Structure 1
Amino acid sequence: MITVYVALGANLASPKAQLDQACEALKSLASDGQLSVSPYYQSAPMGDVPQPDYLNAVARFTTKLAPLALLDALQGIENEQGRVREVRWGARTLDLDLLLYGDWQLDIPRLKVPHYGMKTRSFVLIPLMDLAPDLILPCGTGLTSLITEELKCQVQQLGPDH
């Protein structure tokens, strides 16, 4: 079993319901059916495609799935929830990104782990810190060293009931 962290994002078709449904689906990938999920955060979209703000979170669980099998399962969940890949950084019903797969470092055509953009994205780092404040990334960087006041201002935590 290996501990993984998955980023969740949605900004179409009732984003909160999309994240809630995705969390239920992720439990089926967890080796023990257990899942830890950060609070939900609201953030502005990346890029210059006009679209609504996102809801984001990070989930942690253990799995027996190999990296590519996990990626396939994550993409299957996205597809089941209506994900359409038409525009890069465009609006979406659900986006699931594999951030960390234990302490593995992978760079293959379909998958890069740790996720290539995670060190600079507030909507990933802040919820990740909620789950694992003492986390050391595979490169040796401590998670807390990446958190700046500017990043904290880029997201807004939703209430405890999301």
Structure 2
Amino acid sequence: MTTVYLALGSNLGDRAANLAAAQQRLAPQVRITLASPVYETAPMYVTDQPAFLNMVLCAQTALGPWELLSHVKDVEAEMGRDLKGGPRFGPRPIDIDILFYGELVMYAPELEIPHPRLVERAFVLAPLADIAGDLQHPAIARSVDDMLAAVPGRDTVVRIGAERPVTV
């Protein structure tokens, strides 16, 4: 089993229900062990859309990185995300990103691990810091807490969920 970190986001429909449904649909291939509090955040790249709810999961999986990517894309499609024609960074009922896959560092056109935009996203780093602040980025040797302290906009993400991470 490999420890993975996944970021979830939703800005269409019942956002909180979408986050919960995505967690249920990830199982049993992905066994969630820890869930961050939920944050509300303004959209980052395409700003003319509703605010997002975001969270991060720590999980265990026996899936390889490509199989995990396929699985999360299947979950997104099942939940109504347009994976072929929707605008990049546009509104979506669910978005699931693989942040880390163990200590793996890989670069492929369809999959980069760790996630290539992780270091610029306060909406990912804030919930990730809640559950794994000491986690080291294997490609740049910086902790999640250090990356969060350096990212602009960290004061614009608002925790709306429980004050503490939830052990699943």
CA shift at 1:84, angstroms?
1.2
1:141 corresponds in structure 2 to 142
* Corresponding residue SS for 2:73: helix
* Corresponding residue SS for 2:22: helix
Q: Is the 8 A contact 2:123 2:154 kept in 1?
A: no
Counterpart-to-counterpart distance in 1, 2:32 and 2:124: 21
TM normalised by structure 2 equals 0.89
Matched residue count: 159
1:125 corresponds in structure 2 to 125
CA shift at 1:49, angstroms?
4.7
TM normalised by structure 1 equals 0.92
In the TM superposition, what whole-angstrom CA distance separates every residue of 1:100-138 from its partner, at most 9, and x where no partner exists?
Answer: 000100111210000010011001101001111211111
1:62 corresponds in structure 2 to 60
Gaps of 5+ in 1: none
In the TM superposition, what whole-angstrom CA distance separates every residue of 1:39-94 from its partner, at most 9, and x where no partner exists?
Answer: 00000012235110000000111111000000000000001100014111110000
Overall identity of the aligned pairs, in %: 36
Counterpart-to-counterpart distance in 1, 2:145 and 2:153: 12
Q: Is the 8 A contact 1:100 1:114 kept in 2?
A: yes
Q: Is the 8 A contact 1:26 1:35 kept in 2?
A: no
**Structure 1 letter corresponding to 2:123:** F
* Corresponding residue SS for 1:57: strand
**Structure 2 letter corresponding to 1:6:** L
